[in-house]
Amino acid sequence: MHIITKELYFCYGHRLMNHSGKCRHLHGHSVKAAISVRQEQLNEHSMVCDFADIRDCVEAYIDQYLDHNFLLHKDDPIIPSLKAHNERYLALDEHPTAEVLSKMLYQHIKASGFNVAEVVLWETASAYACYRED
């Protein structure tokens, strides 16, 4: 099995409303996402795929939904205020954890036709979440 990984970087703000610690407050992260794609056989160029193809697919999604955006649970009471001030946000059915975001990226990449192995999202330099379907 051949596996390649492309890293991308972006920033987002969020809060975890029901968290007992300081993550319940609005805050932001500069994250690294590592997208791994696998293939049994290499293509005609002796590649799993071009790194740029992964980048182009994922960057468009990140730019549209995640980068420099507030990611909030759909029931977050701050949403009306953000709307009133014409601020950018994305309301999610789940709490916007690193686990949820890594799954969102995985599902987008898979739906785009890549044989994605896993997505790892570093929320800090020492903490990350990974999503894969085994």
Q: What residue segments make up the domains of the chain, in order of their start?
A: 2-131
Burial class, 113, CB count within 10 angstroms (exposed 0-12 / middle 13-18 / buried 19+)? exposed
Given this model, what pLDDT does residue 134 score? 79
φ/ψ region of 113 (left if φ > 0, alpha if ψ in -120 to 50, else beta) reads left
Given this model, what pLDDT does residue 60 score? 94
* CATH T-level assignment (fold) for domain 2-131: Tetrahydropterin Synthase; Chain A (3.30.479)
pLDDT string in tens for the chain (134-residue length): 999 999 999 999 999 998 999 999 999 999 999 999 999 999 999 999 999 999 999 999 999 999 999 999 999 999 999 999 999 999 999 999 999 999 999 999 999 999 999 999 999 999 999 999 97
Ordered alpha helix ranges (H), 20-97:
51-61, 79-84
As a whole number of angstroms, the distance between CA 66 and CA 90 comes to 8
